[in-house]
Amino acid sequence: MSLNVFSRMGIRSKLALPIVGLIIIGMATVVVMSYRGSSRAIKAAVDEVLLRDVSITMKQVDHWLEGRKKDFAYWTLDPMFSEAVGDGFLAESARDEVCATLSRIKEEYSHFAVLILTDLEGNAVGASDAETVAESSVVGKKNYKDRGYFQRCLKGETVYSDVLVSKSTGKQVVALAAPVLAEGQQVGVLIGSIPMDALNGYFAFDRPIGESGYGYLMSPSGLIMIHPNAEYVMQLDLSQEAFGGELLSGGTGLCAYTLGGVPKLSAFATSEQTGWVFVEAAPEAELTAEARSVGYQQATVALIVVAAVIVVSFFVIAQLTGAIRGMVDRLKDIAEGEGDLTQRVDDSRSDELGELGRWLTPSSARPTTSWPRWPRSRTT
């Protein structure tokens, strides 16, 4: 708006436009700043909740996995395990005892699908699927030498595998392998397979997050181990995605990424025991919905305040400009010589416009004081 146009405006417009404009700009600034501040606060709170949740879950997982390692370390102290991997009549007798013992352990520790004892060549010499070697469908029929976790266990480590298909049950499992020692030398391997369904039953990795978010578990290589969409399990490799490297970077953190065209916010935590990565992810729009709701509420309140201020401002401006218009009309009558000099201008106001009105009111129109006339006294 040019200065010439503004200068040709009436007083009402000159007062109203700047006031209304400043009110709108001021309220808009307040709303935007408040929305940004509340959005940052809400997002920080959401991030904190997600990080705390994945961190606590993985600590619980690590504690549980460490407990199973201790179980294996305790069980393998029994000399019957080292005897069963040997040769001769005593070994054959020990193998039946191992089968019965492993079968009993499996009943007490239901999270194991099967427990298997192998020699250093990977041959199964005892299993929990039957009370005796003769009844077992595993002993003498299965070999585990080709498994990566078995080769790592031969180095004296107690290890967990990534998700794999069990040779004995055909289910998706995670295997735990511990060395069996005799006089300080490794003579065999004790293997326990934990179904992914059982593991997920304990920790609910595929838990819902918000309306459409979810959790999932992946291996250190990025392969999906547990996911609410069964089609992704052992099929989707997130290491091939642009954001995969960030999720697999180790430790705990936050990651924003887009998958299937949907922007997502996620938190991840890495297992110290296995290197597995637990992720909780949800669409960004859902996680920031509360911030938008707060923004809408603030905008609504701001609009109501602006409308109220505008109404009050126009009322006050109308009062001022009405009084000024009356004085202008009075001066115009006087200047044109056609005015009624006895006509009064509103001088009842207590402000400066009232004072101006009193000065513009002619003396002939002002109230006068008449004094009573007393009769003259006669001289007698």
- DSSP of 161-181: --SEE-TTT-SEEEEEEEEEE
CB 255, CB 246: distance < 8 Å: yes
Q: Quick one: CATH architecture of 76-195?
A: 2-Layer Sandwich (3.30)
pLDDT tens across 94-112, in order? 999 999 999 999 999 999 9
Model-level pTM? 0.70
Query: What are the residues whose beta carbons fall under 8 Å from the beta carbon of 116, sequence distance 6 or more?
Result: 102, 124, 126, 127, 128, 138, 142, 144, 168, 190, 191, 192, 193
Q: How confident is the model at residue 182 (pLDDT cuts 50, 70, 90)?
A: very high
Q: Quick one: CATH architecture of 204-284?
A: 2-Layer Sandwich (3.30)
Range of lowest pLDDT (163-167, 264-268, 274-278, 355-359): 355-359
pLDDT tens across 206-232, in order? 999 888 899 999 999 999 999 999 899
* SS3 state at 115: strand
Residue 68: per-residue pLDDT: 95
Residue 115: per-residue pLDDT: 95
pLDDT higher for 154 or 344?
A: 154
pLDDT tens across 184-200, in order? 999 999 999 999 999 99
Residue reference for tokens 């290890």: 159
pLDDT at 366 over 60: no
Residue ranges of the chain that CATH labels 3.30.450.20 = 76-195, 204-284
pLDDT tens across 264-302, in order? 899 999 999 899 999 999 888 776 666 666 666 777 777
First to last CA, the chain: 88
